[in-house]
Amino acid sequence: MSQFLFEIARRLAVVKPLGTPQTTVVLPTRRAAVFLRHHMASLLQKTIWAPDIISIEDFIYSAVGYQPADPIELVFELYSVHREVEGDNARTPDDFFAVAEVMLADFDEVDQHLIDPDVLFNYLHEARAIDLWNPDGASLTDFQKNYLAFYASLTSYYEKLRERMLQKERIWQGLASRMLNDRLADNNTLQLKGPVLFAGFNAFTPAEESIVGKLCKDYGAEVKWDADAWYIENQEQEAGLFLRRYREKRYPAPVDDYPNHFATGSKNITIMGAPLQIAQVKQVGRLLTEAPFTREPGWQSRTAVVLADESLLLPLLNSIPPSAGKFNVTMGLPLRTTPAGSLAELWLELFSNLRPNSEPGVNYYFISDFYRVAMHPLMIKGFGRLREQFDILKKTDRLYISAHELNELFLSGEVLPSQNLSLPVNAIEFIRKVVDRILESTSDEATGDLLLISTATLKDVLTRVQHYLNGFDGPLTMTMLQRLLGQVASSVRIPFAGEPLAGIQVMGMLETRALDFENVIMVGVNDDILPGSGHSPSFIPGDIRTETFGMAGFREKTSVMAYHFYRLLQRVKSAFLLYNNIPGNLGKGEPSRFLLQIKHELPKAMPNISLKEVLISDFPRVTPIAPIVIEKTPEVINKLRFAAGKGFSPTSLSLLVECPLRFYLNRIEGINEPERATLMIESDRFGNAIHDLAEQFLRPLLHKTIAEDDLSIQRETVIDNLTDWFNRNQPDLDCRSGNNLLVFNVAVDYLMNFLKKEREMCTLQKVVPVQLEAVIERVIEIDCDGISESILFKGRADRIDFRNDFPVVIDYKTGTVDPRSVSISMMDTIVEQPKHAKALQLMTYAWMSAGAGGFNPPFLCAIWPLKAPSKALVYLNFADDQQERPRHQGTDRTITSQRLNDFEAVLTTLLTNLFNPAIPFTQTKEIENCRFCPFIELCNRVRPGH
């Protein structure tokens, strides 16, 4: 295979030997320049003056004598223009910056197409005015007038921005191309060192086309096209669109000499459909060890892995096997995708979430945001004691942390201009100093470490953004800063260190321009990526763009991508083209149209090309998850005895019936769901508040018959008492707005309904509360294989009343209560069916209460469903179900001595099994029980409905 750049090098070094004056070679990319220098060095046997080998962008800027403008600087300058043009009607930076990016892209395109901006923007204004014209003569609305005024001012925006940037001698690329074209058109002499050769181009912008044409005509420049007869001669091939146009008008240079690479030499092309992105990169790893070309000596230097979808870079790098040898990554990694980029985002998120109603001059931030920052790997790496300090703060159950504390933690109390870190300038300064500390503390580590390289790059970016913020006299907000930093972090790339020509080349599609490889593996060849939509945000409508002013449209943009695709294949011997074949929206899962073209067209026209299609069934293998079984070893039995000695609650029994494994983890091993500071009223706090206030209202009436007037408490009093409760138990909580206010009002409603129902019941029966939050205990003895075990049960009964002189044990519930859940027919089922969990709790309270000596059977047990204002007490009852042949027939509610004895027998069996070493702790078989379990991830169980 004769590579295009090798032929250029041979021409420069052998056919037309280099000398003085010096030749300038202009290539599409800087990467191509590296390869051309390599080829020249391999051909030359003596020391000579090397030609200037540069990209076309560098050539144009050098010719006009200006520097490229920083995109961020352009945005700030355009906003200054906006304030100048609009005056008091100027938008905030937050609103304008998104618009600015579109305007700048349009300005660049207008210049690249050599269009008079005044003509175009006036035409746009008139077109919009016609669109808004009302045939009935109705006046335009203020919004429509402002809309037209914006289009009328676009020329002014362009001219003022151009004037500002020319004064700074930093301009955008389109303007540089226009200026060089204008100079050449005015016959201004261009100072060139010698002959100019443009090599490897396909589609010039109109400005570049004019520049190259004039240099060829007036300065003897040459153009060496890199093309193939297949897509030039075939009129239906969009890859040859621009070259056919140049051939027809013989401008900027003739297109006469193009070989037929596709028709000569054998080519093996394999189209591979793989499920989703990861399967594609895994297949790349396999190809780099198993493909036929890997059996040839030195294959690595002749091989490229091309990412049409550049988001696959990191998973691809993790999939390249060590046996593949060296590889060089030319693309660079976006800063935003690195840990350093995410650290900056986390800090800005923290500073953006200022505590509501912070005192003037004292800023507090949510500690949950601080936790995310503190646990970032770079923070842990840079601040050795941070984890220890984090653990100390975590135990305080605080919701906020002050700017002063952040300063002490990370900057050792270094004086800052202001403690208000929610001001963008101060936030950037703070983050930059934190990054400095990280770099200082890791200065002895390997300099090639990607983590540290990305951190150093972040420092440079922060300094750059800080420079623009300091020089900006407009209003600044954190939203604007987040957008700005995100834009910069997406555009800045972290280079990978290495030898640029060693081993396999890993590159993006655009980096392959003018480069040739014998073996190509292309990844992400889907239609939504290659060619893609071709549409970018613009204020110039498509019809005006293409039909009126001849600007590039979808056809031209598709042609450019088609050329890159076919040109890369024209000299290959072996190509593997991978795409995602899982269907999806907007072309995801659809192979690129270019794949369909070569599939149906190339083999018919080119017998030398072998093409096959392969579908990869590489879905992740689902390994059955082994059930978790905890055997009751002597050590586990000892832990069980210890827990039994401390005491089980009625809730523990429900837990044991619902899921033995959860019972083991929670009650035996003592693993609890971590408590966390929260800004919301959680369900447990909600329930505790209701229980405590219900007790507070009834406490003065203990051992008294309740009269209707006793509980005539006003809503304002309930609100005051509830507010006091949250102030005592969760002082950082703000219940004055948002979701918390809604939940707070629900709690007030629960309590008001509770008081109302209490007043209604005391008119119907005699109600005497005798115990509130009563602590009750009872011990049961069991025999397990000749070993006696004592198990303590203890709990807290919400309330015990005498109602019409009959004892009633009452349990408050703030959740939903289904009467069927406390209705049992056979006592055995109470420990066999999780749906009877509430009945099991009530029976346990009944059994404990009777044994505690407070009263003897008969008595009642009931749930008070606070969520249902229309319901009174829901009693534990013993339903009549002939199908189950119940031991206790009838629907009575009375808990008798016999029923308590029956329950104790069932309870004894349950506990005997609990202490039986032969019966392990296992997971529940009822997946529905896992819905709200805190151990669901530990068990690898999927939540129901997911």
DSSP secondary structure letter of residue 135: T
Q: How far apart are alpha carbons 382 and 370 in whole angstroms?
A: 16
For 267-332+499-615, CATH number? 3.40.50.300
Which residues are bridge partners to 797 per DSSP? 774
| Structure confidence at residue 642 as a pLDDT band (50, 70, 90) | very high
Both tokens assigned to 918: 């032969």
pLDDT given at position 20: 45
Cα angle 873-877-883, degrees, rounded to a multiple of 5: 145
**With 0-12 CB in 10 A as exposed, 13-18 as middle and 19+ as buried, what is 306?**
buried
Average pLDDT over residues 661-668: 90
pTM of the model: 0.74
Q: How far apart are alpha carbons 79 and 85 in whole angstroms?
A: 10
Q: Please state the domain extents for the chain.
A: 4-67+185-224, 70-171, 267-332+499-615, 336-494, 678-726+737-764
How do residues 623-632 score in pLDDT, each as one tens digit?
Answer: 667 888 999 9
pLDDT given at position 226: 94
pLDDT given at position 793: 92
Q: Which range among 164-178, 494-508, 926-940 has the greatest average pLDDT?
A: 164-178
How do residues 479-497 score in pLDDT, each as one tens digit?
Answer: 888 888 888 888 888 877 6
Q: How far apart are alpha carbons 738 and 567 in whole angstroms?
A: 59
CA distances from 645 to 778, 780, 789, 852, 919 (A): 11, 11, 10, 17, 21
CA distances from 463 to 399, 435, 467, 759, 867 (A): 32, 11, 6, 69, 57
Average pLDDT over residues 372-380: 86
pLDDT at residue 310 greater than cutoff 60: yes
pLDDT given at position 359: 61
Helix %, strand %, coil % for the chain, to 5?
A: 50, 15, 35
pLDDT at residue 389 greater than cutoff 70: yes
| Structure confidence at residue 397 as a pLDDT band (50, 70, 90) | low
Q: Quote the percentage of the chain above a pLDDT of 70.
A: 91
Q: Is the bond preceding 68 in cis, omega lying within 30 degrees of 0? A: no
pLDDT at residue 584 greater than cutoff 80: no
Q: Which range among 187-191, 329-333, 597-601 has the greatest average pLDDT?
A: 597-601
pLDDT given at position 514: 95
| Structure confidence at residue 258 as a pLDDT band (50, 70, 90) | confident
pLDDT at residue 246 greater than cutoff 90: yes
| Structure confidence at residue 670 as a pLDDT band (50, 70, 90) | confident
pLDDT at residue 46 greater than cutoff 80: no
Q: Quote the percentage of the chain above a pLDDT of 90.
A: 48
pLDDT given at position 418: 56
How do residues 823-879 score in pLDDT, each as one tens digit?
Answer: 888 888 888 777 788 888 889 988 988 866 567 889 999 999 988 867 778 898 887
pLDDT at residue 580 greater than cutoff 70: yes
Whether the CB-CB separation of 375 and 346 falls below 8 Å is answered with no
Whether the CB-CB separation of 841 and 654 falls below 8 Å is answered with yes
pLDDT given at position 673: 63
pLDDT given at position 886: 38
Average pLDDT over residues 298-311: 94
pLDDT at residue 890 greater than cutoff 50: no
pLDDT at residue 643 greater than cutoff 60: yes
Q: How far apart are alpha carbons 815 and 572 in whole angstroms?
A: 69
Strands 52-55 and 67-68: unpaired
First to last CA, the chain: 54
Q: How far apart are alpha carbons 735 and 744 in whole angstroms?
A: 7
Average pLDDT over residues 276-304: 93
Average pLDDT over residues 699-705: 93
| Least confident interval from 229-233, 419-423, 436-440 | 419-423
Average pLDDT over residues 38-58: 85
Q: How far apart are alpha carbons 354 and 477 in whole angstroms?
A: 13
How far is Cα of residue 399 from the mean position of the Cα atoms in its chain?
25
Whether the CB-CB separation of 75 and 101 falls below 8 Å is answered with yes
pLDDT at residue 135 greater than cutoff 90: no
How do residues 354-369 score in pLDDT, each as one tens digit?
Answer: 776 556 667 788 888 8
| Least confident interval from 595-599, 787-791, 884-888 | 884-888
Single out the residue of 819, 800, 902 nearest to residue 860, CA to CA. Answer: 800
pLDDT at residue 115 greater than cutoff 90: yes
